[in-house]
Chain A
Amino acid sequence: MARKRALRRRIVVAILVVLSVALLTVYFREPADGPVHRAEASAMHVVAPLQSGTARVIKPFRDGWNWASQLFSAQSQNRSLRTQVQQLRSQLAQELLQQQQNTELRGIQQMRDSSVFPRGSRFANARVIARSTTAWYSTVTIDAGSSQGVRVNDAVVNGQGLVGRVSAVTPDASEVTLITDQESYIDAMVVPNDAQGLVAGSVTGDVTLQYVDRSEKVVTGQVVMTSGMKGSIFTRGIPIGQVSAVAQQDVELYQSISVTPYVDFHTLDLVMVVL
Chain B
Amino acid sequence: MAMRAPAIDKPADGPHVAAEIGRLAVLLVVATLLQTAVAANIHILGANPDFVLVFVVAVALLRGAEIGAIFGFVAGGIVSIALFEPPGVRSLALVAVGYLVGRYAETADLSPNIAPIVSAFVATLIFEAFSLLSQFLFGREVPIVYLTDHWVIPLLVLDSLLAVPLYLVARWWLRGERRVRISET
Contacts and interface: CB of A to CB of B under 8 A. Distances in A.
Contacts of B5: none
Interface residues of B, number: 48
Interface size class of A (residues with CB under 8 A): 35 or more
30 contacts: A12-B66, A13-B66, A13-B69, A13-B95, A16-B95, A17-B92, A20-B73, A20-B91, A20-B92, A23-B87, A24-B86, A25-B88, A27-B87, A27-B88, A28-B86, A40-B84, A47-B82, A50-B33, A58-B41, A131-B40, A132-B40, A133-B48, A135-B147, A137-B85, A139-B84, A141-B82, A167-B84, A203-B140, A203-B143, A203-B146
A23 B88 contact: yes
Contacts, number: 133
Nearest to B51: A133
A35 to B, nearest CB: 12
A51 B29 CA distance: 11
A132 B141 contact: no
Contact of A51 (B36, B69, B91, B184): B36
B89 interface: yes
Residue of A19, A47, A51, A58 with most partner-chain B CB within 10 A = A47
Given A5-B185, A13-B99, A136-B135, A20 B146 contact: no
Given A13-B69, A133-B50, A136-B131, A54 B38 contact: yes
Nearest to B46: A135
B37 A58 contact: yes
A43 interface: yes
A113 to B, nearest CB: 31
A6 interface: yes
A50 to B, nearest CB: 6
Interface of B: 29, 32-33, 35-41, 43, 47-48, 50, 65-66, 69-70, 73, 76-78, 81-89, 91-92, 95, 99, 131, 135, 140-143, 146-147, 150-151, 183-185
Interface of A: 1-2, 5-6, 8-9, 12-13, 16-17, 19-25, 27-28, 36, 40, 43-44, 47, 50-51, 54-55, 58, 62, 65, 129-137, 139, 141, 167-168, 175, 182-183, 202-204, 266
B142 to A, nearest CB: 7
A167 B88 CA distance: 19
Given A54-B37, A130-B36, A203-B146, 7 more contacts: A1-B184, A17-B95, A20-B73, A43-B81, A133-B40, A175-B84, A203-B140
